[in-house]
Amino acid sequence: MASIEVRTAVTINRSPHDVYSAWRALENIPRFMRHIESISQAGERRSHWVARGPAGLRLSWDAEIVADQEGELIAWRSLPGADVENHGLVRFKPAPGDRGTEVHALIRYRLPGGVLGQALGNVFNQGAGRLIQGDLRRFKQLMEAGEISTTEGQPSGRQREREHGR
Amino acid sequence: MKAVCWIAPNTVRVQQVPDPALLNPRDAIIRVTLTAICGSDLHLYDGYIPAMLPGDILGHEFVGEVVEVGREVNNLKIGDRVIVPFPISCGNCFFCRRDLWSLCDNSNPNAAMAEELWGYSPAGIYGYSQILGGYAGGQAEYVRVPFADAGPLKIPDGMSDEQVVLLTDVLPTGYQAAEFCDIRPGDSVAVWGCGPVGQAAIKSAALLGAERVIAIDRFEERLQMAREWSGAETLNYAEVDVIDALKELTGGRGPDACIDAAGMEAHDFGLEGVYDRAKQALCLETGRPHALRQAIIACRKGGVISVPGVYGSFIDKVPMGAAFNKGLTLRMGQTHVQRYLRPLLERIQRGEIDPSFIITHRMRLDDAPHGYEIFKHKQDECVKVVLRP
Ligand SMILES: NC(=O)c1ccc[n+]([C@@H]2O[C@H](COP(=O)([O-])OP(=O)(O)OC[C@H]3O[C@@H](n4cnc5c(N)ncnc54)[C@H](O)[C@@H]3O)[C@@H](O)[C@H]2O)c1
Ligand SMILES: [Zn+2]
Ligand SMILES: [Zn+2]
């Protein structure tokens, strides 16, 4: 079984408390993690995750929070039976000189065997790091700007005019 | 609506496209009442900035009237006339809070692309390639303005679009370039390029107390504008050796600060130009930094090189040895327009600057293709084109 590790960091111009709380409130996560379709809470420390995988595949797993220190860190791991085994640690620490909070993420995936593992391996090898960085960037945008920057749905000369006039 | 679309190098077309819609809570939709073509647009037109897609809507200099606001926009209401700064900036990040608006962390949806090229991503810019966000621009009847609660400034009653449209870019850009020069009494400032940005830099250097401003270009009408508008002395680089002339004019010291307002497409007649064109053809270099090279050589020891002129990726043969051994300071970047909006608006109101002086051509949006052509080729004594949708 192949395993993949991603480490990345971002600095967010908000207090460690704010950043931690936003992350801990799992319902925010699908807004900034592009591949996560839904998360449902199943108790104080347990949750059920559904993700969009390659080629329209849907992946799911149960996760459990294994460490939780207010304003400092959150760690989790998937429970047996996960489509993709994963565990991770996100640490929040004050950035120097009034720069907000450093978010350091460390995530490990263990890919299953077989066709699914191969398909996932292709995606992950092309840039699990990029994927996670994108997620953290969107998290930062939500925290700092209150919204995620986008151009999806804007006009261009590549579309035909739907309707004219305002 | 109608919009000016980039189709291919040297081709723009006015096309019917869908109207923009609010996409985020901090958005507003503006009905554009006046928009301008910028020297920066020429870099796109000429194909010097990669990552343009056919159909991209151009334009980052525009003013207009608010027609729709998102639910988080509380400072603007429908019918307000606004000046929109060209950098798209959130107002809340480390950079915005430090008045470094063009470096906003949160406005480029394609930040990963910019990081690939530059390490970190600057702010998104309207109509300025996929690398800077792929935002639809304002050379159109309507435009979507993100973070409308943070950037745009209301136009005071009684001021015309022409008086304020250059506050979206050109005037702050020239002003920032002059401010970068740390002008002190007795200083001489030399400015390469007498386009709109050069004119604004020349005027600003004079306002900030430069003893002398020396303007350099090869188009007589532009040199004349610099003399008339700002009292600059002028050098035609097609006629004189610029480095020698500057040395002579400054009593053998060299200008205290040098501004490159020509940018990555600066011209050169000599052998150096042949070398750069050959390399560009092979895609090894993406700019022709002739003005920058000259500025570095001409500058006095310990002086400042201020670069408002745009550079995209790589340039060759920058005389780093001269910059280093003369202890020069290099300052550059896209303009932090939001920082300068109010103070410059006040200068306009007090009658200290009238940027509409730079506008030479007024056209309909439909005539944009012609506007791009004459501005590119500096025909018909064109310095600045504004378009009215
Ligand atoms: N930093 C910013 O935020 C910012 C904003 C706006 C424009 N710009 C850049 O400023 C530059 C000028 O813009 P503009 O609108 O004035 O364009 P422009 O094309 O009208 O002006 C450029 C001028 O430079 C002159 N020039 C060319 N080669 C020269 C040389 N070797 N020596 C002296 N002059 C030379 C040209 O004759 C022309 O008059 C462009 O690179 C543009 O992208 C930067
Ligand atoms: Zn411009
Ligand atoms: Zn910002």
The rounded distance, in Å, linking the Cα atoms of B322 and B222 is 30
Q: Where are the domains of chain B?
A: 2-169+335-388, 171-332
Mean pLDDT of A10-30: 95
Give nearest CA residue, ligand 1 atom 10: B309
Q: Classify the C-alpha dihedral B313-B169-B201-B370 as positive or negative.
A: positive
- Considering the domain delimited by B171-332, tell me its CATH architecture: 3-Layer(aba) Sandwich (3.40)
Q: Sort strands B124-125 and B87-88 into parallel, antiparallel or unpaired.
A: antiparallel
Q: List phi, psi (to 5°) of B313.
A: -135, -90
The yes-or-no verdict on residue A110 having pLDDT over 80 is yes
* Tens-digit pLDDT profile for residues B181-206: 999 999 999 999 999 999 999 999 99
Domains annotated on chain A, with CATH: 3-163 (3.30.530.20)
Which ligand 1 atom sits closest to the C-alpha of B268?
31
Q: Classify the C-alpha dihedral B231-B233-B239-B243 as positive or negative.
A: negative
- Using an 8 Å CB-CB cutoff, list chain B residues near A14: none
The confidence score (pLDDT) of residue A147 equals: 98
Nearest CA in chain B to A133: B112
The confidence score (pLDDT) of residue A166 equals: 44
Mean pLDDT of A20-24: 96
Provide CB contacts within 8 A for B158, sequence distance 6+. none
Q: List phi, psi (to 5°) of A45.
A: -115, -5
Mean pLDDT of B257-272: 83
The confidence score (pLDDT) of residue A113 equals: 79
- In angstroms, the separation between the Cα of residue A165 and the nearest Cα of chain B is 6
* Tens-digit pLDDT profile for residues B58-80: 999 999 999 999 999 999 999 99
pLDDT band at A114 (very low <50, low <70, confident <90, very high): confident
The confidence score (pLDDT) of residue B353 equals: 96
Provide CB contacts within 8 A for A152, sequence distance 6+. B23
Q: Nearest ligand to the C-alpha of residue B46?
A: 1
How many Å lie between the centroid of ligand 3 and the Cα of residue B72?
16
The yes-or-no verdict on residue A4 having pLDDT over 90 is no
- Using an 8 Å CB-CB cutoff, list chain A residues near B55: 156-159
pLDDT band at A164 (very low <50, low <70, confident <90, very high): very low
B222 CB less than 6 Å from ligand 1? yes
- In angstroms, the separation between the Cα of residue B139 and the nearest Cα of chain A is 12
- Please indicate if any CB of chain A lies within 8 Å of the CB of B106: yes
Report which of residues B274 and B31 the model is more confident about.
B31
Provide the H-helix boundaries in A28-127: 29-32, 114-125
Q: DSSP E strands: which ranges in B188-256? A: 188-192, 212-217, 233-236
Q: What is the mean pLDDT of chain B?
A: 95
Q: Which structure tokens are listed for B309?
A: 């002129």
B132 CB less than 6 Å from ligand 1? no
The confidence score (pLDDT) of residue A160 equals: 63
The yes-or-no verdict on residue A118 having pLDDT over 70 is yes
The rounded distance, in Å, linking the Cα atoms of A62 and A50 is 9
First to last CA, chain A: 57
Nearest CA in chain B to A135: B112
Q: Are the Cβ atoms of B57 and A164 closer than 8 angstroms?
A: no
Q: Nearest ligand to the C-alpha of residue B237?
A: 1
Which among B2, B23, B31, B73 is the top mutation candidate for probing chain A, defined by the most A β-carbons within 10 Å of its own β-carbon? B23
Q: Taking Cα atoms as reference points, which of B81, B104, B77, B80 lies closest to residue B92?
A: B104
Does domain B2-169+335-388 sit in CATH 3.90.180.10? yes
The yes-or-no verdict on residue B309 having pLDDT over 90 is yes
Mutate to test the pocket of ligand 1, among B40, B223, B268 (most ligand atoms within 8 A of CB): B40
B199 CB less than 6 Å from ligand 1? no
> What is the 3 state secondary structure string of B11-57?
EEEEEECCCCCCCCCCCEEEEEEEEEECHHHHHHHCCCCCCCCCCCE
The rounded distance, in Å, linking the Cα atoms of B333 and A23 is 35
Q: Nearest ligand to the C-alpha of residue A13?
A: 3
Mean pLDDT of A71-91: 95
The confidence score (pLDDT) of residue B260 equals: 98
Q: Look at A156-160, B59-63, B137-141 and tell me which has the smallest mean pLDDT.
A: A156-160
Report which of residues A123 and A145 the model is more confident about.
A145
